[in-house]
Amino acid sequence: MSYDLYIGDYAYSSWSLRGWLLVNRFGLSARSKMVPFVERDVARQMADIGAARTVPTLVTDDGAVISESAAIAEELATRHPEAGIWPADPRARAIARTLVAEMATGFTALRSECPMNLRVCYRDSAPSDEVRADLARLETIWAYARTQRTTDGPWLLGEYSAADAFFAPVAARIAGYSLSMTKGAAAYVAAHLADPAFRRWRAMGLVHGPDLPWYRKDYPTRDWHGPAPRAAKAIETGTPENEACPYSGKAITHVMQMDGRIFGFCNPFCRNKTVADPEAWPAFMALV
């Protein structure tokens, strides 16, 4: 099956991250269509896409337009039952769906006061009592889900599921605003930050599009809490080891350097997203 996935800016669009993970984390594929937030009016930019007015929106090859993340999860699970988007165990699946529903409608203080911004990490964000209450609720439901898991693993119900995709932007907020959590909840956040798919999304967010000042907060900053990227840099000229871009297979136009070696890519975005976090990209690491 073929899909078009309309998404907002990688650095800022928390709901787009959910939709993107529902495709990419479960071995599916879609052509990403960017709806830039710098123009603000998302609905106007999507006026020709069925009844869609928000991101993410998934458009299928048979013309279906799905513009709510929970609906995207359900439709992809129906079309790809082998992908494991929901847990196979009925009890675990029911819990996962409940978690997704609560995430979609709750935690309004955390979402309002701590908008996702993957380009910055704050050392002290002075969370309000309402944000602290949201964090306490997250700790409660995450701990409960972990007691009900049917397989081992760092995720809420053992294996990665739609529930984890929905909480990935929450983990980004907790990390980005250095919000204090209990040991178990902090370990769950750390699992998201180390997840290769999450790292790829953040790497793209670091280099794609302009900084949007309305997402910035006036707090002191610090280094990102997740794994430190391997050192690499963009360079203007050099002879690359590879003959074609590791992502597209197209001719090389831009180069980077890592560990004294030079690698080539077909455009600046391919190069820059790799420089941002080389180890997040399996196709590139296969060259290394």
- Alpha-carbon Rg for the chain in angstroms: 19
Residues 77 and 99 in one domain: no
Q: What's the pLDDT score for residue 40?
A: 83
Does residue 158 share a domain with residue 95? yes
Q: What pTM does this model have?
A: 0.97
Q: Is the Cβ–Cβ distance between 85 and 92 less than 8 Å? A: no
Buried b (16+ CB within 10 A) or exposed e, 95-127: bbbebbeebeeebebbbebbbbbbbbbbeebeb
Residue 39 binned pLDDT confidence (cut-offs 50, 70, 90):
confident
Largest CA distance in the chain: 56
Structure token digits, residue 48: 């020709």
21 and 51 within one domain: yes
Q: Which pLDDT belongs to residue 164?
A: 98
Predicted local distance difference test score (pLDDT) of residue 185: 98
In three-state secondary structure terms, 284 is helix
Q: Which domain holds residue 172?
A: 90-201
CA atoms of 111 and 115, how far apart (whole Å): 6
Tell me what pLDDT residue 150 has: 81
Amino acid letter, 202: R
Contacts of 121 (CB under 8 A, 6+ apart): 175, 176, 178, 221, 222, 223, 224, 225
- Residue-wise pLDDT tens digits, 99-137: 999 999 999 999 999 999 999 999 999 999 999 999 999
What residue type is assigned to position 53 of the chain? Answer: R
Paired sense of beta strands 3-7 and 31-34, if any: parallel
Average pLDDT over residues 245-249: 98
Residue 214 falls inside a structural domain = no
Domain edge (last residue) among 26, 61, 81: 81
pLDDT at 104: 93
Residue at a domain's end among 55, 81, 107:
81
CA-wise closest residue to 145 among 190, 105, 92: 92
Q: Name the helix (H) or strand (E) containing 102.
A: helix 90-105
Distance between CA 279 and CA 288 in Å, rounded? 10
| Model pLDDT, residue 44 | 95
108 falls within a domain: yes
- Find the CATH number of the domain harbouring 180: 1.20.1050.10
Torsion angle (degrees, nearest 10) of CA 38, 17, 76, 48:
0
Tally of helices (H runs) and strands (E runs) in the chain = 11, 7
Per-residue model confidence as pLDDT tens digits over 203-216:
999 999 999 999 99
Q: Are residues 181 and 238 both part of a single domain?
A: no
Give the pLDDT confidence of 259-275 residue by residue, as tens digits: 999 999 999 999 999 99
Residues contacting residue 279 through CB under 8 Å, at least 6 positions apart: 199, 227, 229, 230, 285
Local confidence band at 148 (pLDDT 50, 70, 90 cut-offs):
very high
Average pLDDT in the chain: 97
- Residue 264, in any domain of the structure: yes
Looking at the structure of the chain, the number of domains it has is: 3
